[in-house]
């Protein structure tokens, strides 16, 4: 069955579907995947999906609803370089022999810890059942176990210094991040909360037990430097007043984050109103309840 009979438009239909069904792709490639951004800007181009796996590795996904072509191969390498991805997934209806060979070559010759997947997608229908997508991995990293172990060690090694040296994050952004983290930790201690900071590639996640994010301090990815709070639904549907109207704010629907950009040199916002706003929305354990209207 032709893919475009199910998803007529790649950007408007297939990519949003995939973003909502990452478990299907994750099962095929053997990774637990979490969405970071959709249509993420890399220079003049837009990456289909920017993801993260359970080990904190950056994962990029580029989709095609037809046979692979040279243009998308070039974009894939550009996205890998622009995000410093450690896992690259190219999805297409058909992966040509030449492009499969190119991915194999990249797996054999690129930096240890960076792996390339080539994945074909088809739509199956059995009897009268609804059409179902099926992912088939054609190319996978050659030494995947070694790559995974290397990446796990790197994921545990992120620090403010690594942000500057490896990601080339400007020092003034890092300083904003440091001050925000210090203020958040002080607030956590004063309130007696069991929340912990976790350093990831380009951002710090403030997590409650179970690994659930409450806050994000982003110095690299999106409108950085940025402080963001995880919410179950958009702030207007929750009737939440903006605690920082003097700062540029944005609601990121894919990540359910309400964030504020804090330019270097700006006075840090008072965290009391943000904690008062967010804490009641997060349970002591387990996932954050999501209103029924979100599906």
The pLDDT, as a whole number, for residue 291 is 60
Tens of pLDDT along the chain (295 residues)?
Answer: 577 777 888 888 888 889 888 888 988 888 888 888 888 888 888 899 999 887 778 899 999 988 999 999 999 999 998 888 889 999 999 999 999 999 999 988 876 678 999 999 988 765 555 667 889 999 988 755 444 444 444 445 789 999 999 899 999 999 999 999 999 999 999 988 889 898 988 999 998 877 788 999 999 988 889 999 999 899 999 999 999 999 999 998 877 899 999 999 999 999 999 999 999 999 877 777 766 433 3
**DSSP category for residue 82:** H
Q: What is the pLDDT of residue 295?
A: 36
Instruction: For the full predicted model, state whether its pTM sits above 0.75.
Output: no
CB atoms within 10 A of CB 211: 10
What is the C-alpha separation between 201 and 185, in angstroms, rounded?
A: 20
Are 51 and 65 in contact by the 8 Å Cβ rule? The answer is no
Angle at 124 between CA 118 and CA 129, to 5 degrees: 150
Question: What is the per-residue pLDDT for 90?
Answer: 96
Tell me, what DSSP letter sits at residue 196? Answer: E
- According to the model, what pLDDT value does residue 292 have? 44
3-state secondary structure of 46: strand
For 203, how many CA atoms within 13 A lie in the half-sphere containing its CB?
A: 22
């Amino acid at each position: 069955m032709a893919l475009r009979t199910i998803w007529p438009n790649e950007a408007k239909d297939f990519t949003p579907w995939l973003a909502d069904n990452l478990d299907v792709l994750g099962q095929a490639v053997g990774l637990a995947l979490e969405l970071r951004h959709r249509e993420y800007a890399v220079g003049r181009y837009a990456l289909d999906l920017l993801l993260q796996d359970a080990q904190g590795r950056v994962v990029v996904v580029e989709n095609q609803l037809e046979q692979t072509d040279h243009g998308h191969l070039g974009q894939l390498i550009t996205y890998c370089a622009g995000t410093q991805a450690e896992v690259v997934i190219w999805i297409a209806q058909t992966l040509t022999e030449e492009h499969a060979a190119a991915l194999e070559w990249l797996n054999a010759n690129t930096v240890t810890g960076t792996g390339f997947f080539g994945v074909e997608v088809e739509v199956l229908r059995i009897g009268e059942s609804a059409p179902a997508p099926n992912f088939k991995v054609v190319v996978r990293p050659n030494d995947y176990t070694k790559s995974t172990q290397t990446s796990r060690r790197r994921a545990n090694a992120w620090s403010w210094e690594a942000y500057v040296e490896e990601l080339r994050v400007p020092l003034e952004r890092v300083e904003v991040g440091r001050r925000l983290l210090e203020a958040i930790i002080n607030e956590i201690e004063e309130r007696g909360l069991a929340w912990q900071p976790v350093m990831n590639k380009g951002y710090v996640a403030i997590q409650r037990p179970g690994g659930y994010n409450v806050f994000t301090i982003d110095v690299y990815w999106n409108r950085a430097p940025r402080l963001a709070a995880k919410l179950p639904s958009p702030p207007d549907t929750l009737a939440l007043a903006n605690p920082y109207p003097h700062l540029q704010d944005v609601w990121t629907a894919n990540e359910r984050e309400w964030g504020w950009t804090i330019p270097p040199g700006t006075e840090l916002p008072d965290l009391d109103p943000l904690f008062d706003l967010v804490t009641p929305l997060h349970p002591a354990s387990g996932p954050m309840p999501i209103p029924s209207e979100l599906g």
